[in-house]
Amino acid sequence: MQKEFIPYEQAVDLESIGFDIRPDFGNQTSLYNKEGIRIMYINYGVMGSGLDEGYIYAPTFSQAFRFFRERYELYHNINPLTFQILEEEPIHEIRGYTCEVKWINSCYTIGRYDSYEEAEFACLKKLIDIVKNK
């Protein structure tokens, strides 16, 4: 399940641009501590009781992308990419993924990646960059 959560550095960036959605999972909340280690905090009544300062939310990729859609109207697509190089024998097939970020009347295509997760991470970084620099 670790792959579902955004990395610590991006969680810090999200907090700096206003991410304030508590990633709850029942009575547990996903947090990063000061050292960047993700913990599941069990809420026994009052959220944050027993926690000192320095904890930040550790959202999933899905929660982060929803934040960009709802707060900034920024959208992303991850597209499978397959093409064949016909001049080579045997025919060489290239697979991968591309990432697109859409905002107002702009569309950014961000590279080619070997895995869906790499493309997803590139999208997240681009979305953060757009908001930081807008």
Has residue 1 got a pLDDT over 60?
no
Mean per-residue pLDDT of the chain: 83
| For range 88-116, the mean pLDDT | 79
Q: How confident is the model at residue 23 (pLDDT cuts 50, 70, 90)?
A: confident
Lookup result for tokens 């990063």: 32
Q: Phi/psi at 83 (nearest 5 deg)?
A: -150, 160
- List CB contacts of 18: < 8 A, sequence separation 6 or more: 71
pTM of the model: 0.81
Higher pLDDT, 47 or 25: 25
Sheet of strand 74-85: strand arrangement: 74-85, 92-103, 106-113
Higher pLDDT, 123 or 54: 123
Which pLDDT tens digit goes with each residue over 103-116? 777 888 888 898 99
Whether the CA torsion 79, 98, 95, 7 is positive or negative: it is negative
| CA–CA dist 15, 11 (Å, integer) | 6
Q: Phi/psi at 96 (nearest 5 deg)?
A: 170, -160
Q: Which amino acid is at 20?
A: D
